[in-house]
Amino acid sequence: MNIVKPGPNDACWCGSGKKYKKCHQPRDLVNQLSSVEAQGASNPHPVRPGKVSPRRSVPDNVPRPDYALRADGRPGARIKDVIKNAGQIARMRSACQAARAVLDRCIAAVRPGITTDELDAVAHQAYLDLGGYPSTLGYCGYPKSICTSVNEVICHGIPDDRQLQEGDIVNLDVTIYLDGMHGDCSETVAVGQVDAASLQLIETTRACLLAGIGAVRPGGMVRDIGKAIVAVAEPRGYGVVRAFVGHGIGEQFHMDPQVPHYYDPGSTFVLRPGQTFTIEPMINQGSWKHRSWDDGWTAVTADLKRSAQHEHTVLVTERGVEILTLPAGSPQPFPH
């Protein structure tokens, strides 16, 4: 029987009712590592955890989301009304453009020799310069202001003292809380000169993101997004990650709907004007399967091949879809 492993904080697959990380994750991790070693990992220098610096401070006058005021970092109950009015949409546009500005500043700082912790410092200061709060900071205990996922790390990589090396790829995942709204976006970029296979992975992932966004239309369903993504990725031999999904976003960091990037016929949530959510396909050079580090956050490919991700926050409109996190001045690629 093939068991799809949940995330570390999800209920364990065995039905015990415990969190996966407190139940079967340690055993599964050992088994998966043994399997990878037996097959011969394609990556001779896998990423290893580095030293994580102390949590960065945020001035008291910066407005915070609810979870940042709680010791455990847990958000309140999910908001049920996912249709936004004109005022909320205007604030979403502002937050998303701010997130884009932070991401662009981080991308400009990427170079061989810089540490991912230094990139976190760049992002942290950029958030503050814009009057925003780093949405990831303290969220369910996450210790940093961005996620930096290098090479085989799929998502949720914690910035540390590891230096980026020539030939690496790194995903920079940025979310800002500004004027009561969260804006979320990410890109995978090359560090110096990278091999052709990594460039192809990055560009295919970008094509997957655009295909998924292009499938959004009022009256459609969430499952249309994943169907469009796998139609691009799988014929090219790539795996589409299943354990991590896009999500509704607005006053809360994570809201309905969940947005699978693979085809899930059961994802029948109907898309309606005024909804905002992320589309963020994670595409692997090999298997779609993952394993998790014992930090409770970092997810890596099960076969240690490289993974890439691109992400936009989008708005369902009367005519189609608007991308809220495009670079300033970029034209919308779809009817909106």
- CA–CA dist 245, 229 (Å, integer): 12
Give the SS3 label for residue 313. Answer: strand
**180 inside domain:** yes
Residue at token pair 């580090």: 293
Mean pLDDT by 10 residues, the chain (336 residues): 55 63 58 42 77 97 96 92 95 98 98 98 98 98 98 98 97 98 98 97 98 98 98 98 97 97 97 98 97 96 97 97 96 92
Q: Kindly report the CATH number assigned to the domain that includes residue 237.
A: 3.90.230.10
pTM value? 0.87
**183 inside domain:** yes
Count of domains for the chain: 1
Give the SS3 label for residue 200. Answer: helix
Q: pLDDT tens digit string along 45-93? A: 799 999 999 999 999 999 999 999 999 999 999 888 899 999 999 999 9
**49 inside domain:** no
**122 inside domain:** yes
Confirm if 175 and 183 have CB atoms less than 8 A apart.
yes
> Please, is 218 exposed, middle or buried when counting C-beta atoms within 10 Å of its C-beta (0-12, 13-18, 19+)?
middle
**53 inside domain:** no
Q: What is the dihedral of CA 248, 250, 211, 157, to 10 degrees?
A: -80
Angstrom CA distances, 306 to 46, 100, 232, 320, stand at 10, 25, 18, 33
**Residue 35: predicted pLDDT:** 43
Q: How many residues does the chain have?
A: 336
**25 inside domain:** no
**57 inside domain:** no
**90 inside domain:** yes
**Residue 33: predicted pLDDT:** 46
Q: Give the structural domain span for 206.
A: 83-323
